[in-house]
Amino acid sequence: MIRRWHILGAGAMGRLFACKLLRLGLEPALLTRAGGRRRERLVLRLDQREESLGCDAVGVPALQVAEIEGLLVTTKANQALTAVQSCQTALAPGAPIILLHNGMGVLEALADSGLNLLAGTTTEGAYLDGNILVHAGFGDTVIGREGESAPRWFRSFASAAERISWTSEIDDALWKKLLINCAINPLTALHRCRNGALLDNPALRAEMELLCEELAVVSAARCNVRAASCALDWALSVVQRTAANQSSMLQDVLQGRETEIRYITGYLVEEARRLGVPCPRNEALLRQLDSAAVSH
């Protein structure tokens, strides 16, 4: 049993998971880059209702050695490596670390660290409106380590936060999420459009279909048969469900923040190179969005 989860990355996802744990009487602590120990108020808006919850917050420099029993990492992919390294001395030996960001590559970068790493992916939707956390859409969260059954602590964690399950096939779950992000996020960020435009605008839809053809070929080369045949259907179904949304990559571009492109399309392109499969359209998108980030 893990008595307290620390949540690294007090943005939209971090606060959402803090609220989930708080509602069930658990006492998570939000980790921030700076500051000491304090109490913060989290205001969660769902539909028209607002709920206010008190939550402990701790600046990473104020953590004690081996204080963290369990760590949920909810930074962006491009921030995760530095963030985890910043609190490494505060981790108790063997403390589980759940990486919940979009995109891939961080797990591999930490593979030799000896840390007890798990991966997760979520379809929850949330954003910050000033200081208010807006829970924009309910979703499911899967957490796991390939080929392994759930550890003992997972039962209490999953029962504390709704719609969380364990999977021993996390690689497939992460790959599926990667393909969906590759098909939707870069196009919406480049053309500065909401997700629904990928259905409504024939030129954008055609572009998404061509991207998905490449994603299918890369998936087939990885022997991921289901992804090879479903990439476009998965992307279309998410676009339909989230037509009114701005993708997180578009939000990052609009706010002049670094995007997760290198961990999304960048990871896909690297994987295609490793397998000797061409994916020129994804490569072009990567170049365009990488240079857009540089010009900010």
Ligand X SMILES: NC(=O)c1ccc[n+]([C@@H]2O[C@H](COP(=O)([O-])OP(=O)(O)OC[C@H]3O[C@@H](n4cnc5c(N)ncnc54)[C@H](OP(=O)(O)O)[C@@H]3O)[C@@H](O)[C@H]2O)c1
Q: Which of the ranges 25-33, 158-166, 198-206, 287-295 carries the binding residues for ligand X, by CB under 6 A?
A: 25-33
Q: Is 76 annotated as catalytic?
A: no
Instruction: Pick out residues in 67-96 that bind ligand X (CB under 6 A).
Output: 74-77, 79, 82-83, 86
Q: How many residues bind ligand X (CB under 6 A)?
A: 28
- Please report whether residue 248 would count as binding ligand X according to CB under 6 A: yes
Instruction: Compute the least distance from the CB of residue 7 to ligand X, in Å.
Output: 9
- Please report whether residue 245 would count as binding ligand X according to CB under 6 A: no
Instruction: Compute the least distance from the CB of residue 15 to ligand X, in Å.
Output: 8
Instruction: Compute the least distance from the CB of residue 184 to ligand X, in Å.
Output: 12
- Please report whether residue 184 would count as binding ligand X according to CB under 6 A: no
2, 6, 7, 13: which one contacts ligand X (CB under 6 A)? 13
Instruction: Compute the least distance from the CB of residue 66 to ligand X, in Å.
Output: 19
Secondary structure, 3-state, the chain:
CCCCEEEECCCHHHHHHHHHHHHCCCCCEEEECCCCEEEEEEEEEECCEEEEEEEEEEEHHHCCCCCECEEEECCCHHHHHHHHHHCHHHECCCCEEEECCCCCCHHHHCHHHCCEEEEEEECCEEEEECCEEEEEECCCEEEECCCCCCCHHHHHHHHHCCCEEEECCHHHHHHHHHHHHHHHHHHHHHHCCCCCHHHHCHHHHHHHHHHHHHHHHHHHHCCCHHHHHHHHHHHHHHHHHCCCCCCHHHHHHHCCCCCCHHHCHHHHHHHHHHHCCCCHHHHHHHHHHHHHHHCC
Instruction: Compute the least distance from the CB of residue 85 to ligand X, in Å.
Output: 9
- Please report whether residue 59 would count as binding ligand X according to CB under 6 A: no
The sheet carrying 5-8 orders its strands as 125-129, 132-137, 37-46, 49-59, 29-32, 5-8, 70-73, 96-99, 116-122, 141-144, 164-167
- Please report whether residue 189 would count as binding ligand X according to CB under 6 A: no
Of how many residues is the chain composed? 296
Instruction: Pick out residues in 258-287 that bind ligand X (CB under 6 A).
Output: 260
95-134 mask for ligand X (x: CB under 6 A)? ------xx-------------------x-xxxx-------
Q: Which is nearer to ligand X, 72 or 198 (CB)?
A: 72
- Please report whether residue 185 would count as binding ligand X according to CB under 6 A: no
Q: Which is nearer to ligand X, 8 or 269 (CB)?
A: 8
Instruction: Compute the least distance from the CB of residue 59 to ligand X, in Å.
Output: 9
Binding site for ligand X (CB under 6 A): 8-14, 31-33, 60, 74-77, 79, 82-83, 86, 101-102, 122, 124-127, 248, 260
Please identify every residue annotated as catalytic: 177
